[in-house]
Structure 1
Amino acid sequence: MHILMIECNPNGIAGIANALELGHDVTLVSVDPDFYLAASPLAEAAYAHPNCEVIKSETAFSIDELTALARELHERKPIHGVTTYSEYHTVHTASVAEALGLPGMSVDGARNARHKHLTRLTLDGKGVRQPRFAHVADPADIEPAVREIGFPCVVKPSDGTASLHVLHLKDEDDLRAYLAELADVADYGRGVVRIPDLLIEEFVTGDLISVESCVLASGEIVHLGLTDRPLSGFPYFIEMGATYFRGHPLQDELFAATTQVLEGLGVDFGFIHTEFLLGADGPVLCEVNGRLIGGIVPSLMQISSGVDPYLEVIRQALGERPELAFPGDTTAGGHWFGAPIDGTVESIAFDKLADLPGYHSALAYRKPGTPVTRLSRSNFDWIGHIIFTGSDRDEVNKRCEEGLDSIDLRMKVEVAR
C-alpha cells in the first residue's frame, strides 16, 4: 500500500523505515528532506530504499499547495493512507486525508488541538479545568492581557511546539524582553510560518504529566498510559525526562478529563497526546497534540508493551485497527541531556552506562565538531538521551539519574580574553 507522510520528525523516520520493511510504498513530502538526514541515523537508508520517494516542496506548508500536490501523486500512484508525526503538520494531514477521502481526523478537530488558543476558547465554560487565560491576536494587546492575568504568568505562541518561545514572566522587564525577542520570530524553520496568536495564562504550579490515547475509527477513545515529564530550565520549560507507565493515583481522573477534552474539541481519530499540570485543585489542562507523542516516548512505549506505536500510526492511517501500546510489567524511561555551556562537541561517550542496572540504550544527536548551545531555552537544546528500564517509575528515574553522571561529554569552549 502507498503511504503519504507529510513531514515527519527525527525519531519518526523509524516509522518510515518499518513501513518500508513491511513492503509498503512511502512518499515523504518535506520542505527540507536534508534535515532528517542530519538528524536521524535511519534516514539515509530509508531514502535509498526502492519503495521510498522523497519530494522536496518549498510550498509544503501551504495547505492548498500541499493538497494539489497530493492529488497529483494520487493520480500517478493511488495513496491509501496519509499521516504525520509532526506537530506542525497535523492540520495539513487532516486536510489532505479529507480531500482524498482517506481515514483521518476531522479538520476542525485537528485545528482545535493544533492551535492552543482554539483549544482554550473551544473548551471554555465546558467544565474542563483550565488556567485563566487571555487570547491575543495583535501584539498591541499583549500588555493589557498580561495585566488582566497578572504576574507571574506564562506566555506561549498558539502554534508552537517543543516549549519553544514559552516563557514564565515575573515582571514588566521580562515582558519587554520577551516581546523584543518574539518580534524577530517570523517562522519556526523548515517553511513553518508563525501565526500571530499568543496565549497569556496564569502560572499553575504542579508536575507535568501526559495521557497517551488513541481514538479509533469508530470514535472510541482508548487511553493507553501516562508519561511523566520532569521540567528544567526555568523560566523556560524544557522537558528533561519521560517515563511511560500506568498506576498514578490520579489516573482515573486524568483519563476522564482527557475523554472530556477530546470530545469537546472534536478530536475523533488517531493517536493523541494530552498534557496536564497537577495543580493544587486537580489536573489542569496544559495542551493537546493531535498526534503520537514525540521524542523518545514511542520507544519507551514499545519497550514496555512490545508494540511499535510508529508503525501503528501508519496502520491506522491505512484503515486498519491499530494494536495499542499499553504499558506492561517493565517500566521504561529516559532522560535527555544537553551542554552546560556553549561550545563545540568533541566527543560523547556512553561506555560506562553498559554496566549499570536496567541500561537499555543511549543516543547522541550531535556529531563531533558540531557547535552546540547551552541547554537553556527549549527541547531543541537537547544533544542526546539515555534509556533505562525497571520495575516502576521510581526505580527507572533513579537509574536514569545515575546514568547521566556516567556520560562522558567533552567539548571545546572558547575562553574570553
Structure 2
Amino acid sequence: MHILMIECNPNGVAGIANALQLGHHVTFVSADPDFYLNVSPLTKAAFEHANCQVIKSADTFFIDALVELAKGIHADKPVDGVTTYSEYHTVHTASVARALGLPGMNVDGALNARHKHRTRLTLAGTGVRQPRFAHVPTLDHALIEAAVREVGFPCVIKPSDGSASLHVLHLTNETELADYLAELSKVVDYGRSVVRIPDILVEEFIAGELVSVEACVHKDGRIVNLGVTDRCLSGFPYFIEMGATFLNDHPQQAELFAMNEAVLRNLGIDFGFIHAEYILGKDGPVLCEVNARLIGGIVPGLMKISSGVDPYLEVIRQALGEEPEHPIPGKIVASVRWFGSPVDGTLSRIDLEKLKALPGYQDALSYRVPGRPVTKLSKSNFDWVGHMVFTGSSREEASSRCEAALDLIDLEIAVGVAR
C-alpha cells in the first residue's frame, strides 16, 4: 500500500520505519527533511529505504499548493492513505484526504481542533466546561491588553495555533503581559514553513492537575476512549511537560470519558486518533485543548508497552481504510520523564547506562549527540534533551521509578568559550 505522510514529529518517524518494515511504500513530504535527520536516530535508515520517497517542498504548509502536489504524487503512484503525526498539519492532511477521496477527518472538524479559538467558540453554550476566555483575532496590543483585563489576572495567554506549549504563558501582572507581547511580536512562524496565524486566546487560569484522554474515532462516528494520560508540568510561568503516565484506572476516568465524547461530537471530529487535554478543577474537568491527531512525544510508546498495540501503526492502518486496533492500557503501567539542561550551552557528554540496571527500565534516549547545542529547559517542550521510560504495576510505582532514575543521569554541558 502507498502512504502519503505529510510532515511528522520526531518520535513519529518510528511509525514510518514500521510501515516500511511491513512492506508499505511511504512518500514523505516535508519543508525540511533534514530536521528529522537531526532529531531521530531512525530517520536516516527510513529515508534511505527502497520503499521511501522523500519530497522536500516549501509548499507543505500551503493547502492549495499541497493539494496539487498530492494530486501529482497520486497520479504517478496511486495513494491508498494520507496521514500525519504533526499537530501543525492536521488540517492539511484532512484537506488532502478530501481532495483524493481517501479516509480522513472532515476539514471543519480538523479546523475546530487545530485553532484553539474555534474550539472555545464552537463549544460555547454546549454545556462543556471551559475556562472563561477572550479571543483576539489580531496581534493588536491594545485589544489583547483589553482582553486580559476582561478575563483578569492570573490568566493564561497563548497563540491559537501553537503546539508543544510554545509561547504559552501564565500571566500575573501588566509587566509580564508587556514582555510577552514584545517577544511574540517577533514570532512569524514555528519553523518548517509553518506560518503563525494572528489569533490570540486569553483564558482564565484554572488550578488543577492536567490530564489527557486518548481516543479513536472510527469512520462510522463511533468514539472509543482508550485511556487517561496524567501529566507532570514544570513550574510557572511556562507549561513544559516533564512527565506522563498512561493508565486505565484514573479516579475521574468515567467523567472524563463522558465529557470527551461530548467534546468530540460537538466539534465535529469524526475520524482518527485524538488527544484531548483537561484540567481537573475543583468543580470537575475543564477542557484545555483538543489535538486532532495521536498524542505526541514518547507517549505512543507507553501505549504500546501497556497495551501491546502500536498506535503509530494503527494511525496508518486507519488511514488505509482498515479497522484500527485499540491500544487500551493493560496491567503494566508505563511512565516517562523528560529531562533537559539547566543552562544554554553545548552537550559535552551524556551517559544513561546506569539506568539500564534499575527495576522497570524500558528505554532511555538522548535527543542530542555530543557537540550539539542545547537550550536551557525553560520555555517549551522543544527544550527537552531526552527521556526515560519505566514500568510498574501501578501509576505510583512506575512514576517513582522514573523520578529515582533522574538522579542517575550523567550530563555535562559546556557553557562558555575560552578566550
User: What band does the TM-score fall into relative to the shorter chain?
Assistant: over 0.9
1:377 CA displacement:
0.4
Distance, in Å, in 2 between the alignment partners of 1:91 and 1:59 is 14
1:117 CA displacement:
0.2
Q: Name the structure 2 match of 1:24.
A: 24
Distance, in Å, in 2 between the alignment partners of 1:400 and 1:98 is 43
Distance, in Å, in 2 between the alignment partners of 1:38 and 1:371 is 12
1:8 CA displacement:
0.4
Distance, in Å, in 2 between the alignment partners of 1:351 and 1:308 is 26
Is the CA contact 1:155–1:169 (under 8 Å) kept in the aligned structure 2? yes
Q: Name the structure 1 match of 2:8.
A: 8
Structure 1 counterpart SS, 2:73: helix
Counterpart selection for 1:222 from 201, 221, 224? 224
Distance, in Å, in 1 between the alignment partners of 2:354 and 2:24 is 39
Structure 1 counterpart SS, 2:279: strand
Distance, in Å, in 2 between the alignment partners of 1:96 and 1:377 is 33
Distance, in Å, in 1 between the alignment partners of 2:154 and 2:187 is 23
- The residue identity in structure 2 corresponding to 1:251 is Q
1:125 CA displacement:
0.7
Is the CA contact 1:349–1:409 (under 8 Å) kept in the aligned structure 2? yes
Matched, 1:200 2:202: yes
Q: Name the structure 2 match of 1:156.
A: 158
Matched, 1:57 2:70: no
Q: Name the structure 1 match of 2:354.
A: 352
Distance, in Å, in 2 between the alignment partners of 1:344 and 1:70 is 40
Q: Name the structure 2 match of 1:333.
A: 335
1:411 CA displacement:
1.3
TM-score (norm 1): 0.99
Distance, in Å, in 2 between the alignment partners of 1:168 and 1:416 is 38
Distance, in Å, in 2 between the alignment partners of 1:373 and 1:220 is 43
Is the CA contact 1:233–1:377 (under 8 Å) kept in the aligned structure 2? no
Counterpart selection for 1:272 from 260, 271, 274? 274
1:139 CA displacement:
2.5
Distance, in Å, in 2 between the alignment partners of 1:325 and 1:296 is 14
- The residue identity in structure 2 corresponding to 1:144 is A
Structure 2 counterpart SS, 1:230: strand
Runs of 5+ unmatched residues, structure 1: none
The verdict on how the C-alpha distance between 1:415 and 1:80 changes in structure 2, with shifts beyond 3 A counting, is closer
Distance, in Å, in 1 between the alignment partners of 2:186 and 2:139 is 13
1:135 CA displacement:
0.2
Counterpart selection for 2:397 from 395, 398, 414? 395
What are the Cα deviations for residues 291-337 of structure 1, in whole angstroms up to 9, with x where unaligned? 00000100000000110000000000000001110001100011000
Is the CA contact 1:13–1:43 (under 8 Å) kept in the aligned structure 2? yes
Is the CA contact 1:112–1:119 (under 8 Å) kept in the aligned structure 2? yes
1:233 CA displacement:
3.6
Q: Name the structure 1 match of 2:257.
A: 255
Structure 2 counterpart SS, 1:16: helix
Q: Name the structure 1 match of 2:44.
A: 44
Q: Name the structure 2 match of 1:165.
A: 167
What are the Cα deviations for residues 141-181 of structure 1, in whole angstroms up to 9, with x where unaligned? 10110010011100000000000000001000000000000
Distance, in Å, in 1 between the alignment partners of 2:139 and 2:30 is 31
Q: Name the structure 1 match of 2:107.
A: 107
Q: Name the structure 1 match of 2:191.
A: 189
Is the CA contact 1:233–1:375 (under 8 Å) kept in the aligned structure 2? no
Distance, in Å, in 1 between the alignment partners of 2:131 and 2:418 is 44
Q: Name the structure 1 match of 2:90.
A: 90
Distance, in Å, in 2 between the alignment partners of 1:412 and 1:100 is 50
Q: Name the structure 2 match of 1:143.
A: 145
1:412 CA displacement:
1.2
Structure 2 counterpart SS, 1:261: helix
Matched, 1:127 2:127: yes
- The residue identity in structure 1 corresponding to 2:51 is N
Structure 2 counterpart SS, 1:284: strand
- The residue identity in structure 2 corresponding to 1:168 is H
- The residue identity in structure 1 corresponding to 2:90 is T
CA RMSD in angstroms comes to 1.0
What are the Cα deviations for residues 12-56 of structure 1, in whole angstroms up to 9, with x where unaligned? 011111111111110000000011011111110011111100000
Structure 1 counterpart SS, 2:379: coil
- The residue identity in structure 2 corresponding to 1:96 is V
Q: Give the fraction of aligned pairs with identical amino acids, expressed as a percent.
A: 69
1:416 CA displacement:
10
TM-score (norm 2): 0.98
1:217 CA displacement:
1.1
Distance, in Å, in 2 between the alignment partners of 1:233 and 1:311 is 34
1:415 CA displacement:
8.1
Runs of 5+ unmatched residues, structure 2: none
Deviates more, 1:112-121 or 1:230-239: 230-239
Distance, in Å, in 1 between the alignment partners of 2:138 and 2:16 is 40
Is the CA contact 1:97–1:103 (under 8 Å) kept in the aligned structure 2? yes
1:138 CA displacement:
2.2
- 1:353-392 equivalent positions in 2, closer than 5 A: 353-392=355-394
What are the Cα deviations for residues 254-288 of structure 1, in whole angstroms up to 9, with x where unaligned? 00000000000000000000000000100000000
Distance, in Å, in 2 between the alignment partners of 1:73 and 1:138 is 36
Counterpart selection for 1:404 from 398, 403, 406? 406
Is the CA contact 1:137–1:196 (under 8 Å) kept in the aligned structure 2? yes
